Structure 1
Amino acid sequence: MTDGDEPGETGSTLPRRQLGRFLREARDGAGLTVEQAAGLMEWNKSTLSRLERGLTEKVRVRDVLGLCEVYGLDDEKTAAAKSLAEQTPAKSWWHAYADLIPAHSNLFVGLEAGAKSMTIFQPLIVPGLLQTADYARALDRIYFPADTASALDRRVELRAQRQNVILRQRHPAQALVVLQEAAVRTVVGDRRVMAAQLRHIADLSTRENVEVRLLPFRAGFPLGMPLPPFIIFRFAKDARGKLTEPTVVFAESFAGAMYFERQTEVELYREAFGKVQRATLDARPSRDLIREIAREFDNGR
């Protein structure tokens, strides 16, 4: 199945969209309307509006730097905006950890917050949207060994805030999650942490907007090879039935993450997820098995 309403494949729109989101937030922070900011730049309102919506195909770095000056951004934020502006011609976009783009302009968080639905495959670890605070802290303590206790707390708090996208009462995002059995049996923290984590997943899976399915060990590798963790982000449609943003696939590795927008690439991941999903347990048996494994952790088995 393909989406006939997907935007054209003229190059990656991700840096342009992220730059637009960044500049819009900076303008709001400066207390300026689109009209006021455009006037200070001696632009038409539509010029700034298109830039903020990621619709400007040829972004000029000097224009972005001019906006940063108008908004009173510090050197760090100006450097982040410049980095995004320089990457806008890219056909694809590799977003590496610890790159020039700081946490406050994180692309992944922006996609997650704006998505209408997320299709998630995780072979080894519980995804962030489903993690308990204790599970998250146990992971971060290892991954960020130089962090202070307060820094670790802030990381955990941020992850909890991100989870609001599926927990909010008004229009929560839909989440379809497939976990390989290894993700719910591999101990993170200790058995107590794991038991609580698995009960949390089971409870979340009773929500109408969250479906969790287990790929049991006995299912093997449905595609004949292991798959990396990935998420398919899908966005809402406008009044004309067109997607407000193109569907994006986020595929993760230790060194960084790749974002895919081209329909052929997105379709490959959709097909792969479909094959994996057909090999999973149904939602109810998955929840029952997750609760059973939680009891095993409780009992020290």
Structure 2
Amino acid sequence: MASSVNPTVRRRRLGSELRKLREQKGMTAEEVAARLLVSQSKISRLENGRRSISQRDVRDLCGVYGVEDHRVVDSLMQMAKESRQQGWWHAFGDVPYSVYIGLETDAASLRVYESLVVPGLLQTPEYARAVIEGMWPENTTAEIEKRTKVRLKRQDRITDPVNPMRYWAVVDEAALRRVTGDERIMSDQMQHLVKCSTMAHVTLQVLPYSVGAHPGMYGKFAILEFEDASDATVVYLEGVTSDLYLEKPNDVQDYSMMYEHLRALALGPDQSRQFIIELAEEYAQ
């Protein structure tokens, strides 16, 4: 379930507030960097929430921006303190895509398109392990187990009985046809998808081969939205060595429109459920 203090989200909120203060002062990031004798990239990372923000950073920036209201400074300092706390994922050590996990943990809704594998939040333990083993063949057994445990822990966001995430997944037929592990694992995975699709807060749609070319052929992506209006919607694009987070309104709008096209092309929820039931039976034979 979402934590009461999420360090990733706190960093984003604090970075957004610091950016507003800079813009109100009429200063560029380069000018601020020159005043503080730091790199311009540090200022950008602080404002984008990609770097941990210390209370000293906040104090120095407030000084440059001429913030005299002690309540504002104290509030920003508290946010900086909270942003340096550890999220649940830090207990697993160095975890890839930890920034994304932090955002996902606090998101109110998540829309995903998957082209090659079943979405992570809907994977069974055996399927998840098979995916991780296949995608990172050089990983040790311990690393594979750690990644699997993290993936399964992330699923708390849709199984939370009190405050579950609103989850919408469009999955390409290719992801369901690709045998990952073996037929038994695939049969179990299909049955799990059927069960997940009956949850009131989960919508699952299959994009069949028959639609031909479609906007999702660029690849997988996720759109995260948050309860707090001050938290911008984020489009997440996963890469091999680095990830991309898009927050500009035009980018978010483009991906949101793309997602609406995919939803329209995909089978409806009931048709998708029946499609997956039939696949489960095929794998069980």
TM-score normalized with structure 2 length: 0.70
CA distance in 1, matches of 2:199, 2:123: 16
Between stretches 283-292 and 105-114, larger displacement belongs to 105-114
Q: Which runs of 5+ in 2 are unaligned?
A: 1-15, 24-28, 30-43, 56-69
| 1:290 aligned counterpart, secondary structure | helix
| Residue number in structure 2 paired with 1:184 | 176
User: What displacement does 1:14 show?
Assistant: 8.0
| Residue number in structure 2 paired with 1:234 | 225
The number of residue pairs the alignment matches comes to 228
RMSD over aligned CA atoms reads 3.4
Letter in 2 for 1:47: V
**Are the counterparts in 1 of residues 45 and 51 from structure 2 also a CA contact under 8 Å?**
no
**Are the counterparts in 2 of residues 138 and 188 from structure 1 also a CA contact under 8 Å?**
yes
Between stretches 124-133 and 145-154, larger displacement belongs to 145-154
**Are the counterparts in 2 of residues 175 and 210 from structure 1 also a CA contact under 8 Å?**
yes
**Are the counterparts in 2 of residues 188 and 194 from structure 1 also a CA contact under 8 Å?**
yes
Between stretches 276-285 and 253-262, larger displacement belongs to 253-262
1:265 to 244, 251, 254: 251
**Are the counterparts in 1 of residues 97 and 243 from structure 2 also a CA contact under 8 Å?**
no
**Are the counterparts in 2 of residues 23 and 52 from structure 1 also a CA contact under 8 Å?**
no
Match runs of 1:1-301 below 5 Å: 16-17=48-49, 19=51, 46-47=72-73, 49-50=75-76, 53=79, 102-103=94-95, 106-223=98-215, 226-237=217-228, 243-299=229-285
Relative to structure 1, is the Cα distance of residues 52 and 106 closer, same or farther in structure 2, using a 3 angstrom cutoff? farther
**Are the counterparts in 1 of residues 127 and 180 from structure 2 also a CA contact under 8 Å?**
yes
User: What displacement does 1:15 show?
Assistant: 5.9
CA distance in 1, matches of 2:147, 2:188: 20
**Are the counterparts in 2 of residues 141 and 147 from structure 1 also a CA contact under 8 Å?**
yes
**Are the counterparts in 2 of residues 123 and 227 from structure 1 also a CA contact under 8 Å?**
no
- Cα shift readout 1:29-71 (whole Å, capped 9, x = no counterpart): xxxxxxxxxxxxxxx67436325647xxxxxxxxx9xx98xx9
User: What displacement does 1:139 show?
Assistant: 1.7
Relative to structure 1, is the Cα distance of residues 276 and 254 closer, same or farther in structure 2, using a 3 angstrom cutoff? same
**Are the counterparts in 2 of residues 120 and 177 from structure 1 also a CA contact under 8 Å?**
yes
User: What displacement does 1:140 show?
Assistant: 1.6
| 1:119 aligned counterpart, secondary structure | strand
- Structure with the higher fraction of residues in helix conformation: 2
Relative to structure 1, is the Cα distance of residues 273 and 265 closer, same or farther in structure 2, using a 3 angstrom cutoff? same
Relative to structure 1, is the Cα distance of residues 104 and 145 closer, same or farther in structure 2, using a 3 angstrom cutoff? closer
Relative to structure 1, is the Cα distance of residues 213 and 270 closer, same or farther in structure 2, using a 3 angstrom cutoff? same
